[in-house]
Amino acid sequence: MKTFFAGLFTVFTTLFLLWSGIRIYNDIHFNINCGGYLHRAAYANTIELAAPALQTAIQYVEANGLTNGYTSVIYRTPGEDVGFWYSNLKQAENELNKLDKNSTTLEKSNTLMKLRESLVSQTGEGASLICPEGISVYPYNTALFWMGWLSALMMTLTGIGLIITSEALY
């Protein structure tokens, strides 16, 4: 019986570690290919610096199908609306593209401030990128949610079973 629980514990621990690895990898991948560019666009001092960074991020979003839906699994909240987030990015890009060489410094400055307010929020811990929670693993949020919860639960239960069977042998 101890061997049975040890085997199950190993399987569910491996699944949990795989889940963790997938989440970490996707988070890093998203930050490198999209989040970093959104952050760069938010803090650019000129339209010429902000526009290409925002365009790169939007290209990633479109190429990866991050244009509609919700990242939530159990219930929907406005902060998890991928379609709204994508529309907001596109509108910000349109605002940047409206400006030309004849635009005043005030117009450019106001557009950059509006862009920053659209992309970044200030929290108690500093600046935080505004994007739907779980966007880095979208559209696989549901599968990964269940994989994480079930592997953690089963790992815990088989661990308890392993402890109980180990103590019963003494």
Q: What is the pLDDT of residues 93-124, one digit of tens each?
A: 999 999 988 899 999 999 999 999 999 998 88
The whole-chain average pLDDT of the chain stands at 93
User: Token pair of 80, please?
Assistant: 């998890």
Q: Give the chain's largest Cα–Cα span.
A: 85
Which amino acid, one-letter code, is at 63?
A
Percent of all residues in the chain with a pLDDT value above 70, rounded to a whole number: 98
* Domain enclosing residue 107, as ranges: 2-168
Instruction: Name the domain count of the chain.
Output: 1
Instruction: Assess contact for 12 and 161: CB atoms under 8 A.
Output: no
Neighbouring CB atoms inside 10 A of 84's CB total 14
pTM: 0.87
Tell me phi and psi for residue 121, to 5 degrees.
Answer: -120, 150
Q: Are 130 and 119 in contact (CB under 8 A)?
A: yes
H or E stretch covering 127: strand 126-129
Tokens standing for residue 74: 């159990």
| pLDDT at 169 exceeding the cut of 60 | no
Nearest-angstrom CA–CA distance, 147 and 168: 31
Q: Give the range among 8-12, 104-108, 161-165 with minimum mean pLDDT.
A: 161-165
* Predicted confidence (pLDDT) per residue in 30-39, tens digit: 999 999 999 9
